Structure 1
Amino acid sequence: MTDYRRLRVALLGAGAVGSQVAALLLKHGAELADRAGASLELAGIAVRDLDAPRDVELPRELLTTDPEPLLVGADIVIELMGGIEPARTWLLQAINAGADVVTANKALLATHGPEIFEAADQVGAQVYYEAAAAGAIPIIRPLRDSLAGDRVRRIMGIVNGTTNYILDRMDREGAEFADVLADAQRLGYAEADPTADVEGYDAAQKAAILASLAFHTTVPLEAVHREGITAIDAQMIEDARHAGYVIKLLAVCERLEGAGEGGDAISVRVYPALVDRSHPLASVHGANNAVFVEAEAAGDLMFYGAGAGGVQTASAVLGDVVSAARRHIAGGLGVAESTRANLPIVTIGHVTTRYQITLEVDDRPGVLATVAGILSDGRVSIATLEQTVVGSSDAAGAVRPDEEGTARLVIGTHRAREQDLSETVQRLADSGVVERVVSVLRVEGD
């Protein structure tokens, strides 16, 4: 048996992911030692409640409610407790004690990432966070290392499994949002309070992390434009299908050439968008995640897999642990985060894309001309237009118009500036011929 150097590993948190990490460390310790070149000793596991039910049975003697002794003398600290505090305090304490840290805490990195990376840089430690952006999908290392010599143009990611599960079910079954959300909660895909997922907060945190890596620029969470999926209904899903699209909640991180003062700028945004059914992201089903990267030299790259789940995320965490162990054996300072590009971050109004606008309008002569004129005045060009009569069906299945005489317009546009589009939609709403702006969806991936 090889006599490896022993490294002490402290684990903070034993929830769905933490308990799996602990179990795998104990079960595959010898194999991981061969890969890392060091023996990984699990020194202890800090938990809030010693008697809380866990997915796997863990040795009682490893559990403690006091993390302080674990942090002293640890070579690697794994933080899987989530939340901001006390996770931030304990991570900083571990770093200042000279430990490398591994975390899956996207909320912490999105809000306090610069502080944590700076602390690690000061003492020559390293922060690993492969599991923070897309679960088991290896995307952090490719962006930080493999593509460091390339120029990333755009990232489009499905990075929240809950919303993808909901939208996928709505697309395949024609179900309504509330019904599928209830199923997702019953199956454990969604929390009792699903706000972080369905309102896009979770995806925005991941977008901030991915954009910071891709564009070598610190992206604060408040700079990410965020919209959720709660307004998406079965009719919008059907309209998208009819036009050849599927609706996905996307995290879009994009380099905009010449949009900044004297150079490029970046846009980071999260919203439900139309994706052509021929695009690779359209075929991401269930609770899976996928990240589509467009790079100047490497071209198009696709990363696909489980975006959540205890054992799946534990895989990414343990990959970071092995990397941290190898660094300890090799010696030397940790590699600092590359955020020196300092590209300006523009608001959503500067973004240019295509749109699908759905309106309910008065069904009378001259309305189409009025709508077309408002769009033209707003510098929004019509690419496609489909009109249907809003009404009920008679016994033979024929549409019987409502007494009010309402028509539904689904307008596809050419590329337009977001600010122009927003102002134009407001003018349509105020025009007197539009009864209701049903939806405005961006088209991404073309």
Structure 2
Amino acid sequence: MMVSNRDRMIQYDDLHFPYCDDVSKYEKLDKIGQGTFGEVFKARHKRSKKVVALKKVLMENEKEGFPITALREIKILQQLKHDNIVKLNEICRTKPVNNAYNRWRSTFYLVFDFCEHDLAGLLSNFSVKFSLGEIKKVMQQLLEGLFYIHSSKILHRDMKAANVLITKSGTLKLADFGLARAFSQRNGQPNRYTNRVVTLWYRPPELLLGERNYGPPIDIWGSGCIMAEMWTRTPIMQGNTEQHQLTLISQLCGTICPEVWPGVESLPLYAAMELPRNHKRKVKERLKPYIRDAHACDLIDKMLTLDPSKRIDADTALNHDFFWLDPLPCDLGTMLSHHTHSMFEFLAPPRRNRHHHHHHHMHHNQQPSQAGGAQSSAGGVGGAGGSVNSVTQSSSGLSHHHQPHSSSSASQGRRHRAAAASVASMSTCPERIF
């Protein structure tokens, strides 16, 4: 059956902005982001003095008006209302100007609440030290945000440290829903989503092998990479190509084969890719020298499960012992109050090992990771083809936080979190590693 363009269109009635105001009411202060999606600016409302973030909508090559990708992002952001999701306040535009084709065009901006930092920027600054309790707070908020969007049937599809924003008071916000989409189980019919999503270093094995019928586990994989990065301060698997990324995943997570992942052999690219053989799973083994907390290693291990059907989900992850044994998650505001300047990946030094120059496969202008980071020369976990650079344990800023773990009274109420979160969803330091 043919579907008309009219049927495909997102209805403007669904976009609840009463009007599109002139962006000149804001004064641009600094450029804080740049990528394939366009530019992001810090700006201030001229009258109220409120500071906001302005995200420019890239309009190039848009012969048919407003980009469908931007409409999708707006639609999704209006649907999502949660403390751990970035808040879209309004859409503004410039006064229309007559272009070379005699068409009147405006530049559009999405206006968000301003967040002082992104996680990639914080991790690239070694004066920022996270205690174990603070790392728990970061991951708890990240997973609360993911649980909420997955419960709302939305996939983020671009989980990475640069898309995790943190306010100066310590509230985490998932951001950049430019690749996000709704998902559904279509009466047993498989979905046919694009697999050309997620920045390469955070892309899960099912996407690298061509899967198009995917779901929330793709965001969990990226979250596992981010969690490890809280200690490593640099992305843990820095592939140059899809093939290289699969090799790094195999070296860390074990050989990709039907024995550990039933049905993987039927994925479109399984036969085409050269998958390393006879690799044992070494996630915990490789993490242990850098992450002293066994519960943290265990949770990352569960998030980096090869078979997406066996990968832990956000709700189960939030009930993991990691969050419910001492030290408990603690407020980030005190630590962040010592850092008065905003930290964003765009403004930070590159975050890639200096051995690598080929990053043309990365999406969203992925910045390279820190030169001299403790990772293998193969771009992956130390031991996967290279030695771990020397990193002192004292650089972690964690030593005084690692008391022996005792069962906390908080763990008694652990199982109640899932039920409470389900109801809520119904309404709308560390050393370098690898």
The structure where helix makes up a greater share of residues is 1
Which structure's relative contact order is higher, taking Cα pairs within 8 Å and 6+ residues apart?
2
Q: TM-score range by the shorter chain?
A: under 0.3
Report the TM-score, using the length of structure 2 for normalisation: 0.25
